[in-house]
Amino acid sequence: MEHTQTHDGAAVPGEDSPTGPGSSRLVGSDRVLAVLRELARHPDGVGLEELTRTVGSPKPTVHRALGALRRAGLADQDTRGHYLLGDEFVRMAFAHHEARPEPVRLRPLLGALAARFGETAHYAILDGREVVYRAKVDPPSGAVRLTSTVGGRNPAHATAVGKLLLAHQLDTAGDVREWIGDTPLERRTPRALCTAADLYRDLRACRARGYAVDDQENEAGVNCLALPVYATSPTAPSGAVSVSALAYRTPLPTLLDALDEIRAVLGPLGEPPR
């Protein structure tokens, strides 16, 4: 007999349970969350048929999940019958993001860097093998802009912000090998450092000089310089600020020449508390 999940996690008879150990079928709240995440990928809305295919659950099951989300204000339906994130979800997400202390404190600094270089400035944190962008300021209108988004992710080993933060966590070659484990590092471009030995050498250099660079390792034609930010922790960077530039417009040597200027913009936030 198949089962579903009640709100307290107990199994009850129904149509949506896993079919055996290790099954990937979604049940209960997992299914609702899967539908919510899929809606976030479609800002213009998505039909029930496509949602059903993507989530991999029966149409009645997805429809019930949508009903639960709509009752909570987390999903809505437009005049075409397509589903999209609800206004309440958007309100909560923005309210939570705006209340975070680091983006609020750092946004003026990012704005100053974006205006100075005419390039994009980011603040990012480390999350496992990836970096997550917590704040972003684009250059003034009229300039070519990067496609990165707040909440977006990139591989830590291929980004300046990621390598800078990894350098404060992975001290030895053994630490780097253990962090990589059995999952090969993604090679976004031919310049990406994807072996433990290469990555360890770069992280060691990052620690010694106090900054990290991405020399078109994550995206061809884009280079980046990152510096640590000590917004919340007295012992380790809470995140990193970067200037991400189109290589033809602002080459990496230009960013490195302005290193002291960038440090001056960060001020006390760029220095470990004494």
Domain count, the chain: 2
Q: What is the pLDDT of residues 86-114, one digit of tens each?
A: 888 877 776 665 556 666 778 889 999 99
In this predicted structure, what is the pLDDT of residue 22?
36
Task: Tell me how far apart the alpha carbons of residues 245 and 271 are, in angstroms, rounded to a whole number.
Answer: 24
Backbone phi, psi, residue 134, to 5°? -95, -25
In this predicted structure, what is the pLDDT of residue 157?
95
**79, 136: one domain:** no
**70, 119: one domain:** no
pLDDT more than 90, % of the chain: 45
Stronger pLDDT, 130 or 13, i.e. the higher one: 130
| CA separation, residue 238 to residues 32, 123, 172 (Å) | 32, 10, 21
Task: Tell me how far apart the alpha carbons of residues 187 and 88 are, in angstroms, rounded to a whole number.
Answer: 38
Q: Is the pLDDT of residue 13 over 50?
A: no
**157, 218: one domain:** yes
Q: Which DSSP letter does residue 187 get?
A: -
Residue type, 44: D
**105, 231: one domain:** yes
CATH code where residue 204 lies = 3.30.450.40
Residue with tokens 């149509």: 15
**87, 104: one domain:** no
Q: Contact, 221 vs 247, CB < 8 A?
A: yes
Q: What is the pLDDT of residues 125-177, one digit of tens each?
A: 999 999 999 889 988 765 666 777 888 899 999 999 999 999 999 999 999 99
Task: Tell me how far apart the alpha carbons of residues 143 and 119 are, in angstroms, rounded to a whole number.
Answer: 8
**79, 215: one domain:** no
**111, 59: one domain:** no
**204, 179: one domain:** yes
Select from 41, 56, 91 the last residue of a domain: 91
Q: How confident is the model at residue 206 (pLDDT cuts 50, 70, 90)?
A: very high
Q: Which domain holds residue 50?
A: 3-91
Q: Tokens at residue 118, please?
A: 């005419």
Q: Roughly how many angstroms between the first and final C-alpha of the chain, as a whole number?
A: 62
CATH code where residue 27 lies = 1.10.10.10
pTM flag (> 0.75) = no
Task: Tell me how far apart the alpha carbons of residues 76 and 58 are, in angstroms, rounded to a whole number.
Answer: 20
Select from 56, 91, 126 the last residue of a domain: 91
In this predicted structure, what is the pLDDT of residue 201?
96
Backbone phi, psi, residue 21, to 5°? -60, 135
**70, 111: one domain:** no
**82, 162: one domain:** no
Select from 66, 91, 116 the last residue of a domain: 91
Q: Contact, 143 vs 115, CB < 8 A?
A: no
Average pLDDT, the chain: 83
**110, 54: one domain:** no
Q: Is the pLDDT of residue 8 over 80?
A: no
Task: Tell me how far apart the alpha carbons of residues 109 and 123 are, in angstroms, rounded to a whole number.
Answer: 10
Q: Tokens at residue 101, please?
A: 């202390």
**87, 215: one domain:** no
